[in-house]
Amino acid sequence: FQNPFNQITGARLTVFEEVAFGLENLGVLRDEMVRRVQAVLERLKIGHLAERSPYALSGGQQQRVAIASILVLAPQVLVMDEPTAQLDPVGTGEVMDVLADLAEAGASVVLATHKLAQAAPFAQSALLLEEGRLVRHAAAAEVLADPLLDELGVERPAPARLAQHLGLPPLWPVTVEDGLPYFRAALRSLPAPESGGDRSSAPRWAPGGQAGGASDRTPHPTPQPLPSLLHPHPTPVALDEVHFTYPSGVEALRGVSLSLEPGAITTLIGENGAGKTTLSKLINGLLRPTAGRVRVGDWLAADHPVSDLAHRVGYVFQNPDEQLFKSTVWDEVAFGPRNLGLTGRRLQQAVTRALELTGLTAAAEVHPYDLQLAERRWVAIASVLAMEPPVIILDEPTTGQDRRGRERLARLLDRLRVAGHTLLAITHDMDFAAEQADLVAMMADGRVLTVGPPGQVFADATLLRQAGLESPPVARLAHALSLGSQIVTEAQFVAAWAGRWE
């Protein structure tokens, strides 16, 4: 299932029993069952969670349990709906490896995913769907080079996007490894610096040059007039040596210090289980520190109930279904501001603005559960915006979003930043973390390892390894091509490439 929560049966108490449930139903003998469950838990790196409750896990850990409960059955046909949406990049690669092994052994695997960069190298073929119709079915590389993708808002892997921006010919590379020889060859074919001069004959790889270049990625041509944003009272957040241990004894935060400033976007990255969600729940008071201090503006969070903190901190849950419970989008979005005491015109105004900001105006009377998961995420975002909190935390807002969704999100974050909000966005999407952030905070094992500008954080290979992360594909390519060690965004890459030519 797309939402791993829906996969957990709830009939069993531990992760081990949950994963064994299917085999039990098939009447598999005890010894074989134990062997198979252990093997699949180890393969998905959740052996250490075997005795935990399937509900007392991080989002990504829970998704691994959901995948394990299916893989353990060794099915001949496997259909998966965004199975890796909440997994960190390494975990996603591990699941792709398992699926490739299954396919190798004769199983048929069908995978619905937005993570083309990691799925395409394993795919025998790709199907492109548009509004319920199959519009293309071909080898993955061919589908990825199809101009239709631009129309349909499908995000290509970063190496392919760069090649497209630079006007290099298809077929485009999908992985960094494929990209290296491809871009090296293209660099070698650039005119020597002294032969330059006639800039009028634009080289075919000029930024935004041809073959559906940069212009394809510009947002919709008819910008809607957007509602004006409130300018919130500037509210910095500071965590000072914060510790947190769950009642079950899991030590999730081990001394975290972090400052978030108004008018800045901080992206928070880290492996599954690193403590990102726990950290955000401490800022909005859903959890209270075991030790250390959390300050929100001039308040010490510990001195205020969650209902007070809701005026200052908005938190969009990792799983939107944890926060949606009304029968129309309008009521859902009105719930928060109503609780804060807004009524009449003021309430109407707050809801209308939040719906406009998230593009949901037309969906006001729809039941939230009649919307797709990605749209429900927008409802969750709107319900937080409607409370107009100065501090906004978004827990994995990029999950399950296509290219347009990501662009919509980037525009919204930008506007909130300009208005002066304090913003924290948790993400496993390293491209997004690098493109959108003023600062990147990197967590591992309950600690913040470093905070700094994207170029700096993603240039530190040692710390990245320690955190079990990789820098964005753009950064890895730029580094390997000696274009620069602090290049992390597409725009920087394209500029550095042009610099090579000049």
Q: Please report, as ranges, the residues that interact with Mg ion according to CB under 5 A.
A: 58-59, 276-277, 318
Report d(CA 21, CA 10) in Å as an integer: 10
Question: Residue 393 Cβ, how far from ligand ATP at the closest point, in Å?
Answer: 12
Question: Residue 58 Cβ, how far from Mg ion at the closest point, in Å?
Answer: 5
- Cα–Cα–Cα angle for 109, 110, 116, rounded to 5 degrees: 110
Question: Residue 10 Cβ, how far from ligand ATP at the closest point, in Å?
Answer: 15
**Which of 350, 354, 242 has its CA nearest to residue 301?**
242
Selection from ligand ATP, Mg ion, none that 246 binds (CB < 5 to 8 A by kind) is: ligand ATP
The verdict on 398 binding ligand ATP (CB under 6 A) reads no
Which of 3, 7, 58, 427 forms a contact with ligand ATP (CB under 6 A)?
Answer: 58
Question: Residue 495 Cβ, how far from ligand ATP at the closest point, in Å?
Answer: 32
The verdict on 109 binding ligand ATP (CB under 6 A) reads no
Report d(CA 483, CA 480) in Å as an integer: 8
Q: Structure tokens of 477?
A: 């390519």
Selection from Mg ion, ligand ATP, none that 278 binds (CB < 5 to 8 A by kind) is: ligand ATP
Q: Which residues make beta-bridge pairs with 315?
A: 393
State the binding string over 191-230 for ligand ATP (x if CB under 6 A, else -): ----------------------------------------
The verdict on 448 binding ligand ATP (CB under 6 A) reads no
For ligand ATP, the closer CB: 132 or 247: 247
The verdict on 190 binding ligand ATP (CB under 6 A) reads no
Which of 219, 246, 288, 307 forms a contact with ligand ATP (CB under 6 A)?
Answer: 246
For ligand ATP, the closer CB: 311 or 428: 428
The verdict on 90 binding ligand ATP (CB under 6 A) reads no
Question: Is the separation of the CB atoms in 350 and 388 below 8 Å?
Answer: yes
Selection from ligand ATP, Mg ion, none that 319 binds (CB < 5 to 8 A by kind) is: none
Question: Is the separation of the CB atoms in 71 and 94 below 8 Å?
Answer: no
Q: Which residues make beta-bridge pairs with 451?
A: 441
Selection from Mg ion, ligand ATP, none that 275 binds (CB < 5 to 8 A by kind) is: ligand ATP
Ordered DSSP codes for 287-340: S--SEEEEEETTEEGGGS-HHHHTTTEEEE-SSGGGT--SSSHHHHHHHHHHHT
Please enumerate in sequence order all residues whose Cβ is within 8 A of that of 153, keeping only pairs 6 or more positions apart, or say none: 402, 403, 404
Selection from Mg ion, ligand ATP, none that 270 binds (CB < 5 to 8 A by kind) is: ligand ATP
**Position of minimal CB gap to Mg ion:** 277
The verdict on 323 binding ligand ATP (CB under 6 A) reads no
Please state, in angstroms and as integers, the Cα–Cα distance from residue 467 to each residue in 103, 224, 447, following that order: 31, 41, 10
Please state, in angstroms and as integers, the Cα–Cα distance from residue 408 to each residue in 206, 213, 397, following that order: 27, 20, 11
The span of 56-64, 100-108, 462-470, 474-482 binding ligand ATP (CB under 6 A) equals: 56-64
The span of 59-67, 140-148, 229-237, 300-308 binding ligand ATP (CB under 6 A) equals: 59-67
For ligand ATP, the closer CB: 36 or 64: 64
Helix (H, G, I), strand (E, B) or coil at 262: coil
Chain positions 259 to 288 lying near ligand ATP, rule: CB under 6 A, are 270, 272-278
Question: Is the separation of the CB atoms in 398 and 435 below 8 Å?
Answer: no
Please state, in angstroms and as integers, the Cα–Cα distance from residue 450 to each residue in 256, 273, 374, 470, 483, following that order: 11, 17, 31, 15, 24
Please state, in angstroms and as integers, the Cα–Cα distance from residue 235 to each residue in 56, 62, 107, 298, 312, following that order: 32, 33, 54, 8, 8
Residues that bind ligand ATP (CB under 6 A): 56-61, 86, 246, 248, 250, 252, 270, 272-278, 318
